[in-house]
Amino acid sequence: MMTPQVITPQQMQQILQQQVLSPQQLQVLLQQQQALMLQQQQLQEFYKKQQEQLQLQLLQQHAGKQPKEQQQVSTQQLAFQQQLLQMQQLQQQHLLSLQRQGLLTIQPGQPALPLQPLAQGMIPTELQQLWKEVTSAHTTEETTGNNHSSLDLTTTCVSSSAPSKTSLIMNPHASTNGQLSVHTPKRESLSHEEHPHSHPLYGHGVCKWPGCEAVCEDFQSFLKHLNSEHALDDRSTAQCRVQMQVVQQLELQLAKDKERLQAMMTHLHVKSTEPKTAPQPLNLVSSVTLSKSASEASPQSLPHTPTTPTAPITPVTQGPSVITTTSMHTVGPIRRRYSDKYNVPISSADIAQNQEFYKNAEVRPPFTYASLIRQAILESPEKQLTLNEIYNWFTRMFAYFRRNAATWKNAVRHNLSLHKCFVRVENVKGAVWTVDEVEFQKRRPQKISGNPSLIKNMQTSHAYCTPLNAALQASMAENSIPLYTTASMGNPTLGNLASAIREELNGAMEHANSNESDSSPGRSPMPAVHPVHVKEEPLDPEEAEGPLSLVTTANHSPDFDHDRDYEDEPVNEDME
DNA sequence: ACCAGGGTAAACATAA
DNA sequence: CTTATGTTTACCCTGG
């Protein structure tokens, strides 16, 4: 990968000549490079090495040695040069911003030379204060908005709500234009020098001045060293500025990561967090995606919940890239199987939370349409719903179903028609759908039957549910046993929870040892109406009592009783 | 490889 | 005619 080739001193000089730098400044520049390199991911090992060698050569040059390397300019070298220039630009940018803030005065005619002006423009006291501020500036956390000069002291002082370790150094009046005002020594006394033990430039017996690392026995010697080696001079001030840039970079990075986190949380937890900054599309490198569900989920423009402006706007149809997080594996395509390997302990506390979760987060509920439809119907007072009411229930209970109406509604209808367990009943007011519980239990007997251990396993592991993977769960305090059903129950105990789960899992029980079948408290057999279409195989009298317990009550949370209609059609709230 | 269950899409019918 | 509601078929995917 890396070639031993290096930039020859001449080349180096070439590069740097643009800036007419003194060797001293050169050194500083190199340090700047170093600092910035740490920030920028693109600059990795390769550049580092290059830089080291550069430095070496530089030293050699100063020592009067003649370079022996050939003068070949490799592509890498070019790249490096570019990088160098880039960094210089960066630096100048920052200087400009500083200048704008009045922190620096740079003479107009003078090319924005990074090094000299600072000393010229600032008086020593200011510099020291500046330095102190910079070195303790890590407390400035809220630097989101502006990319540039997020570090400038003015903003720091004025806008930062975060308590700064050092008191404000600049007085408010001195901020926007003009020079820093000189402050009283008193203020200064608040600085770290008064607290030797916490001096940020001293630690582990070493001077932590950037690029120094001189060993100092004790604090006294450190102070001495500090005063002698890092006195106020061009070099120090330049280094100071480098450090400022470092901090700035870090803050930028922090801001970005914060943004990312915000977007993630917003995406996953719609309402709990506030999407303040309008983020760029997350670019989480991810392995898996919501793929199918995601892509199909948003056909044209992207109907995200209004509350989630953060969501990536890119046409989801394109692809996976965006909505993904590394942790979303288990959410997976909609067609996933639920019988997976989740292993979540059941906690009744989860349930309500889960309901809330699905109400607010656009996470696909890990249930089949059939289960959901049934649930909707059973939750209703009459155990019957019109198609539209079913729709409403879906949108009410699951944020996920507030978009792509065409798709999932079709699926609902499809399921209603397809499954024998759903019975259409002609009512006075039209048709309603009911659930033939027996039929429902009959389906998906699969192979669980006869294997109690398996059943039990499912009970506990409750594979069926958890849509979020462990990581996600960990990160958000919601463990999910999405038993939204229980929310409607008066008092979800683990007992009936288990039965609920069992049922949700599938009615396999009946085939196995149906002894478990919990008596359903109050499920009325069937509305006193006659089914119109009985999809062959009407009732199986054999077992009229299944584990039907789940839904006992009719009314869910009061706040939802009104049939709120979520407009299904994607309102282009966010499009690009 | 096969099969079953589930999701999605779409064609079609019918009633409002 | 349009829309909502149903029905049906086809295809795909996943997991057993």
Protein-contacted bases of chain C (C-beta within 7 A): 4-10, 12-16
Q: Which pLDDT does position A517 carry in this prediction?
A: 34
Q: For strand B, is any atom closer than 7 Å to the CB of A7?
A: no
The string of pLDDT tens digits covering residues A121-170 is 333 344 344 444 433 433 333 333 333 333 333 333 333 333 333 332 23
Which residues, other chains included, contact A384 with Cβ-Cβ below 8 Å and sequence gap of 6+?
A377, A425, A427, A432, A433, A434, A527
Nucleotide nearest A446, CA–C1', reads B4
The string of pLDDT tens digits covering residues A99-116 is 333 333 333 333 333 333
Q: Which pLDDT does position A265 carry in this prediction?
A: 64
Average pLDDT value over all residues in chain A: 49
Q: For strand B, is any atom closer than 7 Å to the CB of A334?
A: yes
Could you identify the residue whose CA is nearest to the C1' atom of nucleotide B15?
A: A430
Q: Do A6 and A69 touch, CB atoms closer than 8 A?
A: yes
For A414 and C10, how far is CA from C1' in angstroms? 13
Give the DSSP H/E element, type plus range, for residue A203. Answer: strand A202-203
DSSP SS3 for A379? helix
Nearest alpha-carbon partner for A379 in A223, A561, A217: A561
Residues 367-396 of A with CB under 7 A from strand B: 367-370
Structure tokens at A389: 């009411």
Q: Do A358 and A397 touch, CB atoms closer than 8 A?
A: yes
Structure tokens at A283: 């670019």
d(CA A246, CA A89): 14
Local confidence band at A408 (pLDDT 50, 70, 90 cut-offs): very high
CATH 1.10.10.10 fits A362-443, yes or no: yes
d(CA A170, CA A156): 10
DSSP SS3 for A426? strand
d(CA A434, CA A425): 7
**Tokens 């397809």 — which residue?**
A418
Nucleotide nearest A444, CA–C1', reads B5
Nucleotide nearest A334, CA–C1', reads B7
The string of pLDDT tens digits covering residues A160-197 is 333 333 332 233 333 333 333 333 333 333 334 445 45
Nucleotide nearest A368, CA–C1', reads B6
For A407 and B6, how far is CA from C1' in angstroms? 15
For A335 and B8, how far is CA from C1' in angstroms? 10
Could you identify the residue whose CA is nearest to the C1' atom of nucleotide B5?
A: A444
- Domain locations along chain A: 362-443
Give the DSSP H/E element, type plus range, for residue A358. Answer: helix A348-360
Q: Which pLDDT does position A222 carry in this prediction?
A: 76
Q: For strand B, is any atom closer than 7 Å to the CB of A339?
A: no
**Tokens 């400044």 — which residue?**
A25
The string of pLDDT tens digits covering residues A351-383 is 345 677 888 888 888 889 998 998 889 888 888
What pTM, to 2 d.p., does this model score? 0.35
Rounded alpha-carbon distances, angstroms, from residue A341 to A329, A338, A426, A481? 12, 8, 42, 13
For A270 and C2, how far is CA from C1' in angstroms? 36
Nearest alpha-carbon partner for A162 in A182, A144, A148: A144
Protein residue ranges contacting nucleic strand C, Cβ under 7 Å:
A 292, 332-333, 335-337, 339-340, 386-388, 391, 410, 413-414, 416-418, 424, 430-431, 433, 447, 533, 535
Q: For strand B, is any atom closer than 7 Å to the CB of A562?
A: no
Protein-contacted bases of chain B (C-beta within 7 A): 5-11
For A530 and B10, how far is CA from C1' in angstroms? 31
Nucleotide nearest A535, CA–C1', reads C7
Three-class SS of A321-383:
CCCCCCCCCCCCCCCCCCCCCCCCCCCHHHHHHHHHHHHHCCCCCCCCHHHHHHHHHHHCCCC
Q: Which pLDDT does position A383 carry in this prediction?
A: 87
Nucleotide nearest A432, CA–C1', reads C5
**Tokens 């959410």 — which residue?**
A331
